[in-house]
């Protein structure tokens, strides 16, 4: 196993050296969950209403990856905390600024999303949600699809999640576009069906 890893590492170093020698800059892996301070996204729900996300701050952590505080607005304000490390977006918890002391944390943090996303990836999570209900999520990256939403047209990776543990098993489909993030979601189970679409985002390129 060590020899295989060593050969893989040597191959990557050689490839990197060839790219440098040829004047080509190695490609940076696509970011499917960008977290830059002041970036924001606005969504509309398929039924009515909508919500928005905004990255409020990036907070250094001694000996650990920086944490990002993301404000979620949908009638109520929720601050969600994420970090990025070792190919994952991690979800650490959330707090409710309008209700002092009300918060939920994930220990260890929840593996929220592989980043970058690659078709065929599978991952699972089990634990308690903020209401202390036991949940289990089984997810897989299906592949790219062309998606059109009010914010534009995207080639997005489709992720399917099977969610159990609540009153009704749910299936959630999410589409993530590289460099943009979540562009569409659809959840259904029993008689329940809802979703959302990206309508705008702060770093959207203006038409020339």
Q: Are residue 2 and residue 44 in the same domain, yes or no?
A: no
Please name which of 32, 76, 88 lies closest in space to residue 52, comparing C-alpha atoms: 76
Q: Are residue 100 and residue 7 in the same domain, yes or no?
A: no
Q: Are residue 9 and residue 72 in the same domain, yes or no?
A: no
Q: Are residue 95 and residue 170 in the same domain, yes or no?
A: yes
Flag whether the pTM goes above 0.95.
no
DSSP helix, strand, coil percent of the chain (3-state; round to 5): 10, 60, 30
Please name which of 39, 101, 41, 28 lies closest in space to residue 73, comparing C-alpha atoms: 41
Total domains present in the chain: 2
Under DSSP, the state recorded for 115 is: S
- Residue 4 located in a structural domain: yes
pLDDT at 5: 34
Q: Are residue 18 and residue 97 in the same domain, yes or no?
A: no
Q: Are residue 44 and residue 21 in the same domain, yes or no?
A: no
Under DSSP, the state recorded for 208 is: -
pLDDT at 143: 98
Mean pLDDT by 10 residues, the chain (208 residues): 35 40 64 98 94 98 96 95 96 91 87 96 86 86 98 98 88 98 96 95 84
pLDDT at 24: 52
Joined together, the tokens standing for residue 51 give 């919500």
- Residue 86 located in a structural domain: yes
Joined together, the tokens standing for residue 202 give 């702060």
Taking the C-alpha atoms of 119, 124, 128 and 131 in order, what is their torsion angle to the nearest 10 degrees? 30
CA 112/CA 126 separation, integer angstroms: 11
The helix (run of H) or strand (run of E) holding residue 13 is: helix 2-21
Q: Are residue 75 and residue 13 in the same domain, yes or no?
A: no
- Residue 7 located in a structural domain: yes
Joined together, the tokens standing for residue 134 give 């036991």
Q: Are residue 126 and residue 186 in the same domain, yes or no?
A: yes
- Residue 206 located in a structural domain: no
CA 168/CA 178 separation, integer angstroms: 32
CATH for 119: 2.40.360
Which residues constitute the domain of residue 69?
Answer: 31-201
Q: Are residue 69 and residue 13 in the same domain, yes or no?
A: no
Q: Are residue 102 and residue 177 in the same domain, yes or no?
A: yes
């Amino acid at each position: 196993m060590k020899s295989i890893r060593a050969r893989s590492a040597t191959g990557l170093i050689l490839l990197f050296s060839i790219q440098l020698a040829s004047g080509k800059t190695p490609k940076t892996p696509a970011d499917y969950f960008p977290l830059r301070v002041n970036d924001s996204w606005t969504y509309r729900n398929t039924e009515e209403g909508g919500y928005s996300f905004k990255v409020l701050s990036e907070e250094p952590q001694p000996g650990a990856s920086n944490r990002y505080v993301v404000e979620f607005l949908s009638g109520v304000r929720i601050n969600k905390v994420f970090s990025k490390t070792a190919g994952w977006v991690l979800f650490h918890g959330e707090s409710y600024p309008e209700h002092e002391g009300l918060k939920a944390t994930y220990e260890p943090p929840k593996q929220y999303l592989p980043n970058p996303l690659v078709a065929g990836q599978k991952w699972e999570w089990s634990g308690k949600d903020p209401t202390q209900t036991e949940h289990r999520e089984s997810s897989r990256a299906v592949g790219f699809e062309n998606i059109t939403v009010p914010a534009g047209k995207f080639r997005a990776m489709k992720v399917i999640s099977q969610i159990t543990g609540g009153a009704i098993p749910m299936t959630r489909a999410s589409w993530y576009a590289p460099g943009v993030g979540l562009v569409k979601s659809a959840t259904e189970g029993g008689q329940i069906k809802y979703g959302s679409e990206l309508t705008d985002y702060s770093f959207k390129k203006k038409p020339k």
